[in-house]
């Protein structure tokens, strides 16, 4: 790790959870430089297609560049093929990009296709691993404590959202590099839906 990377490396909490009809994906808002809170409203959850989302942990510049690249690739695929890329295809493409030019990031690719909802964890060297649920970033140990306790196969959208919110709240309580609110989105056959602030506030009140 060079001096620049050590300076701008960010702490993060991001999460993806499969449920009966799709996938829930979320991320916190805080960016840090060491012990300093550099920004309280960083976007770490990106819509890259109508059926796909990307979450990012790591260097902000690398994350933003990847989100733009992937959104462009998904759009080109849709224009050429007349359909959206599968979640596995998007994860494989992302992994191949990282193999060719490593980025200082840890990513989640989450989405819905003909086979249902999927979450893939992708490391900075291009490793791609599917799972029923996944968390990344410095807050991930606290989120996994919630996920291991409360995740159930084929859970409802409402329950998956509650678990995601609880996990992100847990990381905000215990991880100094995570917090300042959250973004949550649901991806189903109907497409990508980002929860608004009022919906997130109501959801947190139920946790």
What CATH number is attached to the domain comprising 97?
3.60.20.10
pLDDT tens-place string over residues 64-79: 889 999 999 999 999 9
Confidence of residue 39 (pLDDT cuts 50, 70, 90): confident
Distances (CA, A) of 142 to 6, 38, 123: 23, 22, 19
Number of other residues whose CB lies within 10 A of the CB of residue 50: 14
**What would the two tokens of residue 19 be?**
């449920």
- Residue 12 bears catalytic tag: yes
Please state the rounded mean pLDDT for residues 39-46.
Answer: 88
Q: Quick check: 8 pLDDT over 70?
A: no
Contact 13, 138 (CB under 8 A): yes
pTM: 0.91
Q: Distance between CA atoms of 38 and 197, rounded to whole angstroms?
A: 22
**What would the two tokens of residue 48 be?**
């890259």
Exactly one of 12, 56, 136, 188 is catalytic; name it: 12
Q: Tell me the residue range of the domain where 143 lies.
A: 3-206
**In the prediction, which pLDDT does 4 show?**
37
For the chain, how many structural domains are there in total? 1
């Amino acid at each position: 790790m060079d001096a620049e990377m050590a300076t701008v490396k960010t702490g993060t909490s991001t999460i993806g959870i499969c449920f009966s009809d799709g996938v829930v994906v979320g991320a916190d808002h805080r960016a840090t430089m060491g012990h300093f809170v550099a920004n309280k409203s960083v976007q770490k959850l990106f819509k890259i297609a109508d059926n796909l989302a990307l979450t990012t942990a790591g260097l902000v510049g690398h994350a933003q560049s990847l989100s733009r690249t992937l959104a462009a690739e998904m759009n080109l695929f849709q224009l050429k093929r007349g359909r959206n890329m599968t979640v596995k295809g998007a994860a494989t493409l992302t992994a191949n990009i990282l193999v060719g030019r490593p980025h200082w990031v840890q990513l989640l690719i989450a989405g819905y296709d003909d086979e249902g909802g999927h979450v893939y964890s992708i490391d900075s060297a291009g490793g791609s691993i599917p799972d029923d649920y996944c968390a990344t970033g410095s807050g991930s140990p606290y989120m996994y404590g919630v996920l291991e306790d409360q995740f159930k196969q084929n859970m409802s959208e409402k329950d998956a959202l509650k678990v995601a919110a609880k996990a992100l709240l847990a990381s905000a309580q215990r991880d100094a590099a995570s917090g300042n609110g959250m973004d949550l989105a649901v991806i189903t056959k109907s497409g990508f839906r980002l929860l608004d602030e009022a919906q997130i506030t109501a959801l947190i009140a139920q946790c």
